[in-house]
Structure 1
Amino acid sequence: MENIDYPPDFRCPISREIMKEPVTIVTGVSYERKHIDKWFNVYKKKTCPATMQPLDDFDMTPNHTLKRLILAWRETLAAAPSSSSSPAQPSVKHGEMVSLFNALDSSPFKVTCLKKIRAIIQLGDDTRSEFVNSGGLEAVVRMLVNQTAVDNCDLDSFQSFEEALGLLHLLPLSKEDKAFQVLSKSEPMKSVATVLQRGSSEARFHAIIIFRKIAKTGFDWNQLVEDRGTDLFKSLLELVCDEICSKASSYALELLFEILASSKKSRSKAIEAGAVCVLIELLPDSNRSKCEKMLLLMKLLCECPEGRTALVDHGLGIAVVSKILVQVSYTATKLGVKILCLVSSFQPTERFLEEMLTYGAVKKLVTLLHLEGLCSTKKRVLDMLKLHGNAWRRHPCFPCDMKDYLG
C-alpha cells in the first residue's frame, strides 16, 4: 500500500515511510515520533533534519490532524478496487535506482544521488534486494573506496562517503549475503575504517554497525589490523569513551572483543594504542554490563606481558580492579580474580603485591573463600594466597585474622 500514490506530506522526512505517530517540531515540519526522537536524543542533533535550521526548542507536538488524514487515506485505499493491470512498483524503483547508480560515477552531485538511493531502500526489504541485485551495492562501494582513497578529501568527498555508510549500514551482512561478500573485501574494509577514524559522529556510528555485523560472521581481522595498526584501536577506544551514544560505546566494546579474542598480535596493538589505560579510567563509573565487557577485554590484554605491565604501571590499575571484587556481579568478580591471578603469577612485583594489600584486594580474596559456589575462582584465590602469603604477612598493613589462609 505504501508504494501507491501517496501524498508526500504523509511520509516522514527522515525515514521516507508513511507516518503512524506524526509529531511537529518548532519549524513546523512533521516527523514520525520515533525517528525525530532518535535524531535529537540518540544522535544529539540540534537542527531540523528537513531544513537544517538550528533549534533551541526540541518540543514535539502530536499532529492529530495529519494522523487523521493518513488514517482516512489508508481507509480509502483499502476500500478502492485493486487494479491488477498496474505496473509493479519494484520495476519502477529499478529504473530509478539504475539511473542513480550510473550518476554516481559521473555526477558531481554524489551526495544527492546517495540520499535518493537511501530513501528508496528504506522503503522495505524488497527495495533493499532490488538495490543489491541491480548492481547498486557495487556502485556505492566503488564510489566509497575511490573517495576515501584520496589523501586530502574536500567537504563534498567527506559528505559522500559518510552518506554511503548511512546507506550501507541498513543492509543485512550475514555470511550468505552478497553485501557481506562485497563489503568484507580488503579495500572496502579499509574505507569503512577510514570513516571510523575521520568521520562525523553519525558516520562513525554507521561504521561501527557495519563492522559489528561483519564481526558476527567470524571475520578474520588480521589484515585490517596489519594495515591500520594502532589507528584502528584508537578509533574504537574513542567510541568506547563516547558518553553521548551508549550504543556506539557498547558496540565498540563488542567489536574490540571479537578482534582481540582471535589474535595476540592484535592485543599488542591495542595495548600500544592505550587500551589498558582507557579501560582502567572508565571502569569506576560504568554500569554492570559495560563493566563486565571491559573486564573481559582487560583479561585478554593481561594475557600479554605488556598488558600486565600497563595495568601495574597505571596509578589506579590495582585499585580499580580491587574495588569491583564482590561489589559488581559474579561475572565481574570472576574476571577481576582472573586479572589479578595473571599478574600475580607472571609479574608479581613488590609494588603490585603491596597495592593488592593496601587497596583491600587481599581481604576481598579471603572473603570470596566463604561464599557459596565460585569453585574455579576459589582455586585461583587459594593459589594466590599460598604463592604470596609470606610477602603479605610481613607487610605492616597485614590483618592478623588472615594468617590462617596464608601459606
Structure 2
Amino acid sequence: MLLMSNPSPTMEMGRSNLDSEREFPQDFRCPISMELMKEPVIISTGVTYERKNIEKWFFSYKKKTCPATMQNIENFGVTPNHTLKRLILLWQNSHSPSPSSSSSSSPLPSYKRDEMVSLLKTLGSSPFKVNSLKKLREIIELGDEMKLDFIILGGLDVLLQLIVQILSDCSDFMVFRACEEALGVLQHLPISEGDYGIKVLEVLSKPECMKSMSIILQRGSKDARVYTITILKKLTQADFNWNVVVNEEGIGMFKSMLELASDEISMKASSSALQVLIKILDSSKKSRSRAIEAGAMCTLVELLPDSNRSKCEKILLIIKLLCECADGRVAFIEHRLGIGAVSKILFNVSESASKICVKIFSLICCFHPTEKVLEEMMMYGAVKKLVVLLHMSGPSSIKNKVLDMFKKHGNSWSRYPCFPSELKEYLCIHSRH
C-alpha cells in the first residue's frame, strides 16, 4: 500500500480555494446557497442573488417572494449587479496566491484597500481624525469598488459615530471638524442603489444623524454645509421620510437651506438647496408652515428677479407650494414685490415658469381676492398677460384657470380703461354706471 506523505497539488489548490472562500465577506455570498456569487443579479426588492439560484427559485419552484425578505413580488426581472461582480473579482485577484496575479492586475485597489483598513482603525484611537478622513475621501473617490469596499469594511459605523458625537461634544473644535470631514466622506457614497445604498440610507434615516447634519448646516463651514446639502439632495431621489427633518429640526434647518439658496457664489449649492426644499415641502403641509415661519416667502420673492431660468422655475414651484397654505398666501400678498415679481416672470422666462405663475395667481384670486390684490395684478401687467393666454388654441388646464379668474373678477378689472372691450362681451361683463 502506497502512502502519500504530502497532499497532491490538486488537493492543495482545492484547500487553498476553500480557505480563500471562507475569508470572503458575507455580502459576496448568495443568500440562497451561501456560496460566492459569479453572476450576481438584483431583483425588484433590491436584494442581490446568484443568477441561477434566483431563477430556479422563481421559475422552477414557482415562488413569488423574495427569499431574503419574504416580500411578495410581481416583477420577476433581474438586473446584473456589475459593480458587485467587479468587486468580487477584485477581491479574488488581490487574495490570489499565484505569483503572476500581481503582474497581471493593478496593485492599486489592493494597496488602497489595505490603507483604508489602516485608516479606519486609526479613526478609533488617533486624535488626528481629520487627516485620516481626508485620506479616506481621496480613496473612495477612486471609484465604485472603493466605495463598496469601504461599506463592507464597516466604514459606515465609523462615520456615524463621528457624525453624532457633536451632539454630546458640540463645543469641542476637533470633534466638530471630524464631523464635517465625515460628512465629506459620506456625500460620495451611493444612496438606495442596491444592498449597499440601502445601508447608507438606513444610517441617514437615524434621527441623531439628521440632527447632527442640521447643526452642521446651520453652524458648519461653507464646505461642510455644501457636503450636507449634497447628501440631502441625494435623499430626494430615495424613499426617505422627510418628517424626520420637519419634526426634529424644523425652522432652523429651513433657515439654513434658504441661506444656501441665496448663495450667489456656489450655484450648485443654491440649486441643491432649492431642490431639497421642493421635496420637503411637497411631502407635507406641516413642512410648509415651518418654512413660512422661517421666512421662506420673503427670501424667495426677492431672489426671483435676478435668477436664471432653472433657478427661477424652482423658486416659483416653491412659492406655489407655499401658496397652497393660507399662511403662505398671506405672506405672498403682504410682500410688496410678490405680485409684481411673478407678473414680470409671466412670458419672460419659460413656458414651464409661466404655467406656475398662472397657478400662483389662480390660488391668490381664489382665496384672497382683495381689492388691493386685484388692483396690483392690473397695475403690474398680470391681467394684460393673462388675456393673451385666453387666445391659446384648444382647451387646456391653464387656459381654464385663466378663464375662471376672469369670470370671478372680470367686473373688478373691467373698471380700468385698459381692459379690452371685446373681453367684456366675451365674458358677458356689463359696465357699471
Map 1:371-386; keep pairs closer than 5 Å: 371-372=392-393, 375-386=396-407
Equivalent-residue separation in structure 1 for 2:425 and 2:257 (angstroms): 46
Per-residue CA deviation, residues 113-138 of structure 1 (Å, 9 max, x unaligned), is: 21222222223222222211111121
Q: SS in structure 1 opposite 2:124?
A: helix
Q: SS in structure 1 opposite 2:190?
A: coil
Equivalent-residue separation in structure 2 for 1:220 and 1:374 (angstroms): 38
The code of the aligned residue for 2:283 comes to: S
Q: Is the 8 A contact 2:210 2:244 kept in 1?
A: no
Question: 2:153 maps to which residue?
Answer: 134
The code of the aligned residue for 1:185 comes to: K
Following superposition, the deviation at residue 395 of structure 1 comes to 4.5
Following superposition, the deviation at residue 148 of structure 1 comes to 4.5
Equivalent-residue separation in structure 1 for 2:371 and 2:138 (angstroms): 62
Larger radius of gyration: 2
Q: SS in structure 1 opposite 2:397?
A: helix
Map 1:175-186; keep pairs closer than 5 Å: 176=194, 177=197, 178-186=199-207
1:283 and 2:304 are equivalent in the alignment: yes
Equivalent-residue separation in structure 2 for 1:122 and 1:148 (angstroms): 28
**Paired residue for 2:262, among 225, 241, 253?**
241
1:173 and 2:194 are equivalent in the alignment: no
Map 1:34-113; keep pairs closer than 5 Å: 83-84=100-101, 90-113=109-132
Equivalent-residue separation in structure 2 for 1:271 and 1:243 (angstroms): 22
1:120 and 2:115 are equivalent in the alignment: no
Map 1:306-325; keep pairs closer than 5 Å: 306-325=327-346
Question: 2:411 maps to which residue?
Answer: 390
Equivalent-residue separation in structure 1 for 2:177 and 2:239 (angstroms): 31
1:216 and 2:237 are equivalent in the alignment: yes
Map 1:364-375; keep pairs closer than 5 Å: 364-372=385-393, 375=396
Q: SS in structure 2 opposite 1:327?
A: coil
Following superposition, the deviation at residue 192 of structure 1 comes to 1.8
Q: Single out whichever of 163-172 and 263-272 deviates more from structure 2.
A: 163-172
1:342 and 2:363 are equivalent in the alignment: yes
Give TM-score, length-normalised by structure 2.
0.71
1:249 and 1:111, CA in 2 relative to 1: closer, same or farther beyond 3 A?
same
Q: SS in structure 2 opposite 1:152?
A: coil
Equivalent-residue separation in structure 1 for 2:244 and 2:143 (angstroms): 34
Equivalent-residue separation in structure 2 for 1:258 and 1:119 (angstroms): 30
The code of the aligned residue for 1:158 comes to: F
Q: Is the 8 A contact 2:362 2:405 kept in 1?
A: yes
Equivalent-residue separation in structure 2 for 1:191 and 1:269 (angstroms): 19
Question: 2:162 maps to which residue?
Answer: 143
Q: Is the 8 A contact 1:295 1:336 kept in 2?
A: yes
Q: SS in structure 1 opposite 2:214?
A: helix
**Paired residue for 2:248, among 213, 227, 236?**
227
Q: Single out whichever of 276-285 and 144-153 deviates more from structure 2.
A: 144-153
Map 1:256-271; keep pairs closer than 5 Å: 256-271=277-292
Per-residue CA deviation, residues 276-319 of structure 1 (Å, 9 max, x unaligned), is: 11111111111111111111111111000000001100001011
Q: Is the 8 A contact 1:94 1:134 kept in 2?
A: no
Q: Is the 8 A contact 2:217 2:224 kept in 1?
A: yes
What's the C-alpha RMSD, in Å, of the aligned pairs? 2.1
The code of the aligned residue for 2:100 comes to: S
Equivalent-residue separation in structure 2 for 1:372 and 1:400 (angstroms): 21
Following superposition, the deviation at residue 245 of structure 1 comes to 1.0
Equivalent-residue separation in structure 2 for 1:112 and 1:180 (angstroms): 26
Q: SS in structure 2 opposite 1:352?
A: helix
Q: Is the 8 A contact 2:162 2:175 kept in 1?
A: no
Q: Is the 8 A contact 2:217 2:225 kept in 1?
A: yes
Per-residue CA deviation, residues 97-117 of structure 1 (Å, 9 max, x unaligned), is: 233223223221111221222
| Runs (5+) with no aligned partner, structure 2 | 1-98
1:312 and 1:167, CA in 2 relative to 1: closer, same or farther beyond 3 A?
same
Equivalent-residue separation in structure 2 for 1:315 and 1:187 (angstroms): 40
Following superposition, the deviation at residue 246 of structure 1 comes to 0.9
Following superposition, the deviation at residue 403 of structure 1 comes to 2.7
Q: SS in structure 2 opposite 1:384?
A: helix
Q: Is the 8 A contact 2:165 2:175 kept in 1?
A: no
Following superposition, the deviation at residue 372 of structure 1 comes to 3.5
1:157 and 2:178 are equivalent in the alignment: no
Aligned residue pairs, count: 325
1:298 and 2:319 are equivalent in the alignment: yes
Question: 2:227 maps to which residue?
Answer: 206
1:404 and 1:153, CA in 2 relative to 1: closer, same or farther beyond 3 A?
farther
The code of the aligned residue for 2:404 comes to: D
The code of the aligned residue for 1:163 comes to: E
Q: Is the 8 A contact 2:323 2:329 kept in 1?
A: yes
Q: Is the 8 A contact 2:165 2:179 kept in 1?
A: no
Q: Which has the higher contact order (CA 8 A, sep 6+)?
A: 1
Identical columns (%): 55
Equivalent-residue separation in structure 2 for 1:116 and 1:167 (angstroms): 10
Give TM-score, length-normalised by structure 1.
0.75
Equivalent-residue separation in structure 2 for 1:349 and 1:116 (angstroms): 61
